[in-house]
Amino acid sequence: MIITIDGPAGAGKSTVARALARRMGFRFLDTGAMYRAVALAARRRSMDWADAAALAELTRWLKIEVGESHVYLDGEDVTCEIRSLEITAVIHHVADNPAIREQLVRLQRGIGETGDFVTEGRDQGTVVFPHAECKFFLTASPQERAARRQKDLARRGEFVPIDEVLSQQNDRDRRDIERKVGGLIAADDAIEFVTDGLSSEQVVDRLELLAREKLVASR
Ligand code: DC
């Protein structure tokens, strides 16, 4: 069984997806981490962001492993490094590249065939797993998402004013929505869920209930 969780940045997808996977006895796949790992590899090589073909070619040779809580790039643990502001600022060069998306989508589908998964991203219910048994679309208001992101960054030692976080988030939202391939949109059969004012535990409680109903219905 595949459960997909899509939604904009800061909607709480990762925390919720990881917890839901644990409760269901499923594995967890963070697909954003894959795009981030490619961006990190390109940045380390000081690649030209305008050279879409070279970026796609680089992706072909990378070994990206995304585990439950760690991300490895060619065997090196890059879990923290891929979440930095620097990588977030350049990620669109990777996420907007259709040839890179094609490779990562293939990789994600291959992983999905190896067991029961909760997968998290922007295009999981629409492009990667259109036949997933259970699809969620998580959102929250821009203010709430920015506040969560600011806390996350502070935990990592990056202190950013809320206005700046909000303006970067607006940029990312626009790019996510306008992306021609794999753009952010709820699948027709996704259950939409607004997480404002709810703790992640409350969200997971609700999603678990819905997912278990779907599980029974699909077996
Ligand atoms: O969820 P995240 O912030 O770690 O994702 C990083 C970037 O990757 C984000 O800007 C959107 C992009 N992304 C994507 O295009 N498709 C996905 N399935 C996951 C993430």
How many domains does the chain contain in total?
A: 1
Supply the pLDDT for residue 218. Answer: 80
Which H helix or E strand runs over 213?
helix 200-218
Q: By alpha-carbon position, which residue is closest to atom 13 of ligand 1?
A: 32
CA of 114 to the centre of ligand 1 (A): 22
Low-confidence ranges of the chain (pLDDT < 70): none
CA of 217 to the centre of ligand 1 (A): 30
Model-level pTM greater than 0.85?
yes
Phi, psi of 179 (to 5 degrees): -55, 130
CA distance 128 to 102: 10
Question: The domain spanning residue 162 has which CATH number?
Answer: 3.40.50.300
**Token pair of 32 as six digits:** 């954003």
Instruction: Output the DSSP codes for 156-181.
Output: TT----HHHHHHHHHHHHHHHHH-SS
Q: Give the largest Cα separation in the chain, rounded.
A: 50
Instruction: Say which amino acid occupies 60.
Output: R
CB 136 within 8 A of CB 3: yes
Supply the pLDDT for residue 153. Answer: 86
Residue 171: which domain range?
2-218
